[in-house]
Structure 1
Amino acid sequence: MALISVGEDSWAIEHEGCEKLYREIMEQFTLRSQEQKMSVEYARISSSIRYRMKQFSSEVFQLKEKIMQASLSKSITQQEAERRSRMVEVLRSKERQMKELFSERNLPATSSGRGARSFADMGVSGWRDDDEEENAVGGAELPSGNYSINDVRQQQQTVVKQQDEGLEVLSKVISRQKELAKVIGNEVDIQNDIIDDLTENMENTDTRIRRETKQIGTIVRKDKTWVYWMIIILLFIAIVVLGIV
């Protein structure tokens, strides 16, 4: 969603665009909460949320920059600049809220149900950055907490199974695309044969037209010669008759 200037009210339109993007992200949070954390769909929605949050941060930064530029150019009053700054602060507050909501899935829960606690108490870090999340098995997030080796192995087997199912679906799609490509290739070959036949027929027709045209020219020339001979004969007869008379 690009921030495009469309006139004096462009800032307000861009601000409304940020608000709309915020609502879309929150809707994605709702969709993600309905998926299992080990599912591929959960990882896909998380990736989309991460991308949109970066987009949201960029657009909020642009709004703030435009306020500073407008203030320096005196195109808006000081009161209006302050009002817009407060609106930007509200957006930044929403941004922090989304980041906290996005990071909640990385906080492990205690067995006593008192909430989340840091992995630092267990000697490992409970936070992962974006690159580490993308390197998780199958692109899905591995849940944190106290898990045995068998639990982790079972989770990995589940992810591998989901990957196999996804690869099987992809294989079927590729097979259908291959069949479609064959059909298209056969159709192209047929069309090429038709074009070749048309080209050959056109060449033959052109040759016949040239031959017929040549023949017509010959006949026309012969017809003209016959007229000349007739005239010569008639003149000869006239001369003979006149000579006798």
Structure 2
Amino acid sequence: MDPWLSMYDFTYHLAQEIAEKIHERNRYLRNGENPVKINLSVRTLLKRLEESIGQLRDSLLRSVSTRQITQLEGDRRQTLIDELLTKERQLQMSFKGDGTEPDVIRSSLMSGGGAGPSPYNPWVLEEPEETRGLGIGDLKQQQQRMIREQDAGLDALSNIIARQKQMGYDIGNELDEHNEIIDDLTNLVENTDTKVRNQTRHVKLVDKKSGSCAMMVVIVLLLIAIVVVAVWPSN
């Protein structure tokens, strides 16, 4: 990129930064605050802006005299320098003001010294429509109203969080109760299963004993029959 154009771009944004700081200084003044630090910064930046515009002008003269650029391009760049000089004067006037008429200063910067305002002003930050033209008292009331609205919103959010927290506790308690019921059912099933196994073993034992008794009865009857046959007199 052409060094001159780079220098112009730097100077352009420097002027924009100064306009923003002056706008901030004016807001401090309207709020009754002390803008000492901002004033010192603006003075330093204005001095740098003046030096930068001077460097642009000297560099342009050298380029035109040595025919490094065309006359048409030289005229275009001179117009850019003239616009920067106009902005510098507007910034100086705005900085010297007491900050009590920000709309007048803003209109002057937006007009650019021409017949009407431009659709976009890169030199200043626009003040929000809701605060434009309000005094210190009105600004304080608006600030207090905004704080009350924020507090109300925070209270509503806190209530929602509290309800969700209580719902979490209730769900946790219900799960604990369900787990206790499941544990009781598990114990009941285990106890029942143990009783069933015991009863099964008892039935098998009784059945085995019953079989042994029947066998013993048969043997006894056979023995009796043999004895009877042995002692029964033959004819």
Name which structure has the greater RCO, CA cutoff 8 Å, separation 6+: 2
Normalised to the residue count of structure 2, the TM-score between the two structures is 0.43
Task: Please identify the structure whose Cα radius of gyration is greater.
Answer: 2
TM-score by length of 1: 0.41
